[in-house]
A = this chain, B = another copy of it.
Amino acid sequence: MKKPLIIITLLIFANVIIAREHPSLMMTGKGVAEMKKGMGKYPAFDASIEETKTKADFAIASPIVVPVPKDGGGGATHEKHKDNYYSMYYCGIMFQLTGEKKYAGFVEKMLDEYLKLYPTLGYHPVKMSSNPGRLFWQTLNDFVWLVHTSIAYDCVYNYLPEQKRTEYNNKLFKPMAQFLMDGSDANNKIFNKMHNHGTWACAAVGMIGYVMDDNELIQKALYGSDKTGKNGGYMQQLDELFSPDGYFTEGAYYQRYAIWPFVIFAQAINNNDPDKKIFLYRDAILKKAVSTLIQMTYNGEFFTINDALKKGFSAQELVFADNILYAADNSQKELLTISKNYQSFFLPSDAGFAVARDIARGEAKEFKLISQLLRDGSDGKMGGLAIFRSPKPAENTTFLMKATSHGLSHGHFDKLTISYYDDGNPILVDYGSSRFLNIVVKYNGGYTPLNDKYSMSTISHNTVSVDMKSHYEGDIKVSSNYAPTIYCYDISNPEIQVCSAYETNASPGVKMQRTNAVIENLGGVRIILDIFKLTSEKEHTYDLPFFYNGDMISLSTPYTKALEQMGIFGNSDGYRYLWKEAWAKPNDSKVCFTWLKGRRFYSVTTVTDSKSDLFFVRSGANDPEYYLRTDPAFIIRQNSAKNHTFLSAIETHGKYDLVVEKTENAVSSVKSLRIIEDNDNYTVAEIEVNEVKARFRIDYNKESSAAKWTFNKY
């Protein structure tokens, strides 16, 4: 679809405004024609259109209410303005698909009300945000309003008399874009910020720019306020917000949210400036970002690293990402599978139609989840997220080591933490965030105070806390300066996949290096070796938790459980939110803790000595308002230690079959586990499982090209 060369030249050299086609954001004239032709052919797509129509018809049947902004998030005026942009969006789409004027008329009537209201507004009266919007309490919601309304406006543009358009453009949309870009220093900062709010801002301004043919707005959206592309704008966001592997620094949950404005604006750019080849930009970074996002899942749910709630492929943002990316590159047949198996609707647009059509044609291909290292940082040098999958897909196993940078305001103090999923269940889990989204009585649906205090703290993660303190003493400013170093990530042999990363700044004076070897089959069971080496010249207390999911089955050493009274685990940082449920001293050079989840048993065998203590804890203490879940953990504590290496074997074993009431191998098969050698240069761990002895050696000071680990059975 190349435009004639002459026009491109003009655009580049003269910024001449060319009358654009409408619609050209979510839909195109060609796409609408195809959809109309396809009606009745693809029942699943017809259902999505029917749903859009139902919503549009419901909007038309309801009185138009455009209230003076008053309430914060979840409140009445907030929800009404949200409803309004959705209503316009649905009606705009239905106008394109049916040509029925009632739909366009509705958008016009609604815009008339906004035209009256908007010029009268100052900052939103709820003073809760440092970026107050006009329609909403924060500009973020104003951006989202404008993105949706731009799509609706685009759909009805040709229906409106020119004088009306001029009025909307000059009195509503241009002032709004102006306000969102430059209404205050804070607004200008957000607009030019390398942050997902900035992406929403650019998408909003850029999309309304396309509708109005306002090249000034488009250029600013693409290249920042100064139009240089160096101090803000969508293109720079594409350069900086994703790592070369398509990883967004806040983690999967927010990558899902951030991807929305990225793909929706990309589609608008592609429709209007196809020669920009936006979907191929930076080695097709958007394609990579969506694919990476899909990779950061287990059973269709995102990894709960950093601030995260349960979300997965079914989320509406993923429908946008999936459909738009597929339409941009029809060779990605695996995206059809995501839509088919997990998503309940299609975009009512060119993109959604393409997906529905090609699924119906039987073109869906499996989306293969793979082992990979997702480097963090725009240059890929801020640590990363190491993902391991079993070479046998039927095993349905995923192991993670998180050695990323802090991850902006939604990051947790969890350097080198691990997660484990198996047989359909989370097994070693990351708490995610403490938040009851959209539930007003729970702290207005926002992050609860215990999110900062507990969920972000180090002790709530499967990594080492030093002296009962969070990493970086829980200071995001300090934490944001550093990232762990990925020392090795080696998946060349799927039978033993290895990752090692270190971090020297999280606890001053303590170097922490964690090495994990995922061994697919050792004496008949899967063993994940976990070598957490701490090096320090001073004595410390080191705590290593394993937050397990399932029923506590056994501990190999006698333990005492709180019976009639239960106290808290400690006073500092996250500790005070944990109940101290049970405690024990090891009675051997190793202890073994076993739990049951679903159809399998899991054990952590860990090396202990006389300075070790063991605890079972559960979250929920000091939680006066029921903000926390009551999740259990097994904790190994090493007291008064300078250098110390935690060596553990995480074992997947046995079978628990309730259908025929048969249990196999409920007991750990790890016969011995010990550290043979441990020094600055290397650690050698020895393990014996079901008569198979093996040694794993990790070297710490090898050149990047040298072999960093060895593994031998004997």
Q: Which residues of A contact B (CB under 8 A)?
A: 74, 309-311, 314-316, 344, 436-442, 445, 551-554, 560-568, 576, 579, 582, 594, 596, 618, 621-626, 629-630, 656, 658-663, 666-667
A442 to B554, CA, bound (A): 8
A553 in contact with B436 (CB, 8 Å): yes
A26 to B258, CA, bound (A): 62
A666 in contact with B567 (CB, 8 Å): no
Closest to A566 in B: B566
A661 to B314, CA, bound (A): 11
A564 to B575, CA, bound (A): 11
A441 to B658, CA, bound (A): 17
A576 to B618, CA, bound (A): 19
A439 in contact with B663 (CB, 8 Å): yes
- Which one of B596, B624, B666 contacts A561 once the chains associate, using CB atoms below 8 Å? B624
B626 in contact with A561 (CB, 8 Å): yes
A621 in contact with B563 (CB, 8 Å): yes
B310 in contact with A596 (CB, 8 Å): no
A623 in contact with B561 (CB, 8 Å): yes
Contacts A/B (CB < 8 Å), 23 sampled? A74-B663, A315-B658, A344-B659, A436-B551, A436-B596, A437-B658, A438-B656, A439-B596, A439-B656, A439-B663, A440-B666, A441-B666, A442-B554, A445-B663, A553-B626, A561-B624, A561-B626, A562-B621, A564-B567, A564-B576, A564-B622, A566-B579, A566-B621
A50 to B14, CA, bound (A): 76
A561 to B568, CA, bound (A): 14
- Which one of B315, B439, B551, B582 contacts A659 once the chains associate, using CB atoms below 8 Å? B315
A552-B626, A630-B618 known; A438 vs B564 contact (CB < 8 Å)? no
A311 to B660, CA, bound (A): 11
Assuming A315-B659, A437-B658, what are 10 further A-B pairs, CB within 8 angstroms?
Answer: A316-B659, A316-B660, A436-B551, A436-B596, A437-B661, A551-B626, A551-B629, A561-B623, A561-B624, A563-B622
A582 to B625, CA, bound (A): 10
A554 to B567, CA, bound (A): 25
B566 in contact with A441 (CB, 8 Å): no
A309-B658, A314-B659, A316-B660 known; A564 vs B630 contact (CB < 8 Å)? no
A114 to B624, CA, bound (A): 65
Q: Give, as a whole number of angstroms, the nearest-CB distance from A672 to chain B.
A: 20
A582 to B626, CA, bound (A): 10
A685 to B136, CA, bound (A): 44
- Which one of B309, B439, B630, B659 contacts A666 once the chains associate, using CB atoms below 8 Å? B439
B566 in contact with A438 (CB, 8 Å): no
Taking CB atoms, residues of chain B closer than 8 Å to A582 are 626
Give the 3 A-B residue pairs with the shortest CB-CB distance, closest first. Answer: A438-B663, A552-B626, A441-B554
Query: Which of A566, A629, A662: most chain B Cβ within 10 A?
Result: A566
Closest to A662 in B: B438
A553 in contact with B659 (CB, 8 Å): no
A256 to B681, CA, bound (A): 61
B563 in contact with A566 (CB, 8 Å): no
A290 to B178, CA, bound (A): 72
Taking CB atoms, residues of chain B closer than 8 Å to A667 are 440-441
Taking CB atoms, residues of chain B closer than 8 Å to A563 are 621-624
Q: Give, as a whole number of angstroms, the nearest-CB distance from A104 to chain B.
A: 25
Taking CB atoms, residues of chain B closer than 8 Å to A626 are 551-553, 561, 582
Taking CB atoms, residues of chain B closer than 8 Å to A566 are 565-567, 579, 621
B564 in contact with A658 (CB, 8 Å): no
Q: Give, as a whole number of angstroms, the nearest-CB distance from A551 to chain B.
A: 7
Closest to A595 in B: B626
Closest to A626 in B: B552
A552 to B311, CA, bound (A): 20
Taking CB atoms, residues of chain B closer than 8 Å to A439 are 553, 596, 656, 663, 666
A554 to B445, CA, bound (A): 13
Q: Give, as a whole number of angstroms, the nearest-CB distance from A562 to chain B.
A: 8
- Which one of B562, B658, B660 contacts A310 once the chains associate, using CB atoms below 8 Å? B658
Closest to A623 in B: B561
A626 to B551, CA, bound (A): 8
Taking CB atoms, residues of chain B closer than 8 Å to A442 are 553-554
A663 to B439, CA, bound (A): 7
Taking CB atoms, residues of chain B closer than 8 Å to A554 are 441-442
A567 in contact with B565 (CB, 8 Å): yes
B437 in contact with A621 (CB, 8 Å): no
Taking CB atoms, residues of chain B closer than 8 Å to A438 are 656, 661-663, 666
A553 in contact with B441 (CB, 8 Å): yes
A564 in contact with B568 (CB, 8 Å): yes
B564 in contact with A565 (CB, 8 Å): no
Taking CB atoms, residues of chain B closer than 8 Å to A661 are 316, 437-438
A439 to B599, CA, bound (A): 12
A430 to B644, CA, bound (A): 47
Taking CB atoms, residues of chain B closer than 8 Å to A579 are 566
Taking CB atoms, residues of chain B closer than 8 Å to A663 are 74, 437-440, 445
Q: Give, as a whole number of angstroms, the nearest-CB distance from A147 to chain B.
A: 15
Q: Give, as a whole number of angstroms, the nearest-CB distance from A441 to chain B.
A: 4
A596 to B310, CA, bound (A): 14
Q: Give, as a whole number of angstroms, the nearest-CB distance from A629 to chain B.
A: 8
A107 to B622, CA, bound (A): 64
A505 to B310, CA, bound (A): 48
Taking CB atoms, residues of chain B closer than 8 Å to A629 are 551
A579 to B620, CA, bound (A): 13
Q: Give, as a whole number of angstroms, the nearest-CB distance from A131 to chain B.
A: 20
Taking CB atoms, residues of chain B closer than 8 Å to A316 are 659-661
Taking CB atoms, residues of chain B closer than 8 Å to A662 are 438
Q: Give, as a whole number of angstroms, the nearest-CB distance from A379 to chain B.
A: 33
Q: Give, as a whole number of angstroms, the nearest-CB distance from A217 to chain B.
A: 28
Closest to A439 in B: B666
A431 to B663, CA, bound (A): 23
Query: Which of A562, A576, A582: most chain B Cβ within 10 A?
Result: A562
